[in-house]
Structure 1
Amino acid sequence: MSAVRIAAKVLPANTGIVILHGLGDTANGFPRTIANYLRGIPAFEQTSFILPDAPISPVSLNNGYKMPSWFDIYELSAHPSRVDADGFMKSLGVIEKCVQEHIDAGIKPENIVVCGFSQGAALSLSSAATLPVKIGAFAAFSGFVTIPNQLRQIKKDHNLDTPIFHGHGDSDPVVPLEGGFIAKDFYQNDCGFKNIQFEVYKGMDHSVCPEEMDQFVKFLKRALKMK
């Protein structure tokens, strides 16, 4: 598994965070930016990070151009008629491996977080329904739901009450806010998740903003019972 691994500033690590990038990005883009931001906060000095890299593969939406992608995208739609379920499930397996790597390093599952941006956010949300172990929290920046039919059939109940943070901009042209609301409704109503914090940021496009990062950090501290 190709990934950037960042050791805790103070050892031993007692918290582990997995961060997944979006389409066309790499571990050294958005994930490393978030990891570096958190590493500058004293509460996270014993946190280690795993930032996996998506494989380089053709993306149908971009005329088959090859780029880092967790799964193929055929159309930009809140209700796509065709999805890459196989690619999506394979990438969910990457998350499971990252979580297990943190556990094997001695980090308790309740101190592990999975988060991601865009494609990575879609995966982080879905992993809440598929991970075979209960962890500390999930977070999604501009997330959406991709394989609802499959998730209904395979979902597990380990993380039904695990805290989930989902932030979305109301001016997002890539993943419109409607897609965020659809994901929220799906995971609450269809999957039964009980602890979703959904935040909308006025004027924010397909990105993150300081207010979102501030709320994300507060969310993590609550979920992981940090001081």
Structure 2
Amino acid sequence: MAVTANGGMEMPSWYDIFDFDGYSREDEAGMHKSAASLNAFLDSEIAVGIPAHRIVLGGFSQGGVMSLLTALTSDKKLSGVVVLSGRLPLQGKITSMATPSNITTPIFWGHGKDDPLVKFDTAIRSVEILKLQLNIPTADLESPEKGGLMFNSYEDLPHSASNEELRDLKAWLKKVLPST
């Protein structure tokens, strides 16, 4: 897809990015189209016998943005959502778009404090909106499977993932998606 903020050059993308501050203008139509694609993917997984409560949807950067948007607005109740180096999209509309039953879906959010693309302050603001406007609680470290948002920050981490972040994610996944 051609990305406006990248000088119109083609790059892998879930939606267009008009500028890297991410909020002055968002590609809402592109986000809804990608969310519809993710919901179709979820439907195909459910159709082959994987129950929604055994599915965790997650991604990095735009993938995390789309995973969060899809999970919050879907008619499916997933086991969890993973946001790595992402942000909350459509902040002015998310409260009216969110499906009430999905507000309790466990969320793992990992973000580097030195991220130059999705700034750490942007992640903090996103988390605050989820907590204040959607009343998503902070997850209990011992039982994240009960719901809520677990936000983890990582020193000296740019727009990337680290071994520490992946270890934290693995521990979280074991809680929200235990072996059967």
TM-score, L = length of structure 2 = 0.89
1:76 maps to amino acid:
F
Residue 99 of structure 1 aligns with an amino acid whose one-letter code is L
Question: CA-to-partner distance for each residue in 1:153-190, whole Å, 9 max, x for gaps?
Answer: 22111212211000000111111101111111122221
Structure 2 Cα separation of the partners of residues 117 and 102 of structure 1: 21
Q: Kindly indicate whether residue 16 of structure 2 is the aligned counterpart of residue 72 of structure 1.
A: yes
**Structure 1 residue aligned with 2:5:** 61
Match among 48, 52, 57 for residue 105 of structure 1: 48
Secondary structure, in 3 states, of the residue corresponding to 1:172? coil
Count of matched residue positions in the alignment of Structure 1 and Structure 2? 170
Distance 1:185 1:95 in 2: 25
Aligned-pair CA distance for 1:225: 2.5
Deviation at 1:125, TM superposition (A): 1.4
Letter in 2 for 1:178: D
Correspondence for 2:143: none
Task: Give the Å deviation of 1:102.
Answer: 1.2
What amino acid sits opposite 2:4 in the alignment?
S
Which residue pairs with 1:33 in the alignment? none
Query: Which residue matches 2:140?
Result: none
Q: What does the per-residue CA deviation read over 1:56-110, in whole Å, with 9 as the maximum and x for residues that have no partner? A: x2111011112221111111116x2211100011111111112111111101111
Q: CA deviation at 1:191?
A: 2.0
**Partner residue, 2:103:** 160
Amino acid corresponding to residue 222 of structure 1 in structure 2: K
Q: Distance in 1 between matches of 2:52 and 2:169?
A: 20
Q: Which has the higher helix share?
A: 2
User: Is 1:202 paired with 2:155?
Assistant: yes
Q: Deviations over 1:123-166 (max 9, x none)?
A: 11112211101110100110112211232222111212211000
Preserved contact between residue 143 and residue 168 of structure 1 (Cα < 8 Å): yes
Does the 8 Å CA contact 1:129/1:191 hold for their aligned counterparts?
A: no
The alignment's C-alpha RMSD in Å is: 1.4
Detail structure 1 runs of 4+ shifted over 6 Å in the superposition: none
With normalisation by structure 1, the TM-score equals 0.71
Residue type of the alignment partner of 1:215: D
| Preserved CA contact (<8 Å) 1:131 1:158 | no
122, 130, 134: which one aligns with 2:73: 130
Equivalent residue in structure 2 for 1:180, among 123, 129, 132: 123
Identity of aligned residues (%): 31
Structure 2 distance, partners of 1:217, 1:139, is 11
Structure-1 residue corresponding to 2:176: 223
- What amino acid does structure 2 have at the position aligned with 1:74? F
SS of match in other structure, 1:140: strand
- Residue 198 of structure 1 and its aligned partner are, at CA, apart by 0.1
* Structure 1 unaligned spans of 5+: 1-56
Q: Is 1:190 equivalent to 2:138 in the alignment?
A: no
Which residue of structure 1 aligns with residue 142 of structure 2?
none
Quote the Cα distance in structure 2 between the aligned partners of 1:200 and 1:220: 17
